[in-house]
Amino acid sequence: AQTVTQSQPEMSVQEAETVTLSCTYDTSENNYYLFWYKQPPSRQMILVIRQEAYKQQNATENRFSVNFQKAAKSFSLKISDSQLGDTAMYFCAFMKHLPSNTGKLIFGQGTTLQVKP
């Protein structure tokens, strides 16, 4: 069975600085997807970034980038130039490769990030 672990329950960062959130996962699959979702105080789950395991290049979306280390089963999220609006809970999630699976997401426990002015 797949598991996702986020070892940092809470983190804080000063506005405009850079912060990295950690995520490790366990799987015997070779092809899969990894995601970071953001859940602000409104509790709406918002996709931040996604990575396909067969792609070696790390995904980037504006100020958000990942460090994907397949052999180490590590998938960290880097937020550059942190903004107050980045304050949220961040979830790392794993999904087996389609189309042979159900699309089920397996989530980590989440990391609460506070951006301080």
Partner 1 sequence: DGGITQSPKYLFRKEGQNVTLSCEQNLNHDAMYWYRQDPGQGLRLIYYSQIVNDFQKGDIAEGYSVSREKKESFPLTVTSAQKNPTAFYLCASRGQATDTQYFGPGTRLTVL
Q: Name the residues that contact partner 1, by CB under 8 A.
A: 4, 9, 33, 35, 37, 42-47, 50, 52, 91, 95, 98-99, 102-105, 107-110
Rounded to a whole number of angstroms, the minimum distance from the CB of residue 15 to partner 1 is 25
Q: Among 95, 107, 106, 104, which residue's Cα sits nearest to residue 39?
A: 107
Please identify, using beta-carbon distances, which residue of 44 and 83 lies nearer to partner 1: 44
Please identify, using beta-carbon distances, which residue of 16 and 47 lies nearer to partner 1: 47
Please identify, using beta-carbon distances, which residue of 3 and 69 lies nearer to partner 1: 3
End-to-end Cα distance, the chain? 41
Rounded to a whole number of angstroms, the minimum distance from the CB of residue 92 to partner 1 is 9
The conformation of residue 16, written as its DSSP 8-state character, comes to: T
Name, in order, each residue with C-beta under 8 angstroms of 45's C-beta and a sequence gap of 6 or more.
Answer: 37, 38, 39, 91
Rounded to a whole number of angstroms, the minimum distance from the CB of residue 31 to partner 1 is 11
* Sign, CA torsion 35/7/13/70: negative
How far apart are alpha carbons 80 and 27 in whole angstroms? 29
Please identify, using beta-carbon distances, which residue of 36 and 79 lies nearer to partner 1: 36
Rounded to a whole number of angstroms, the minimum distance from the CB of residue 33 to partner 1 is 5
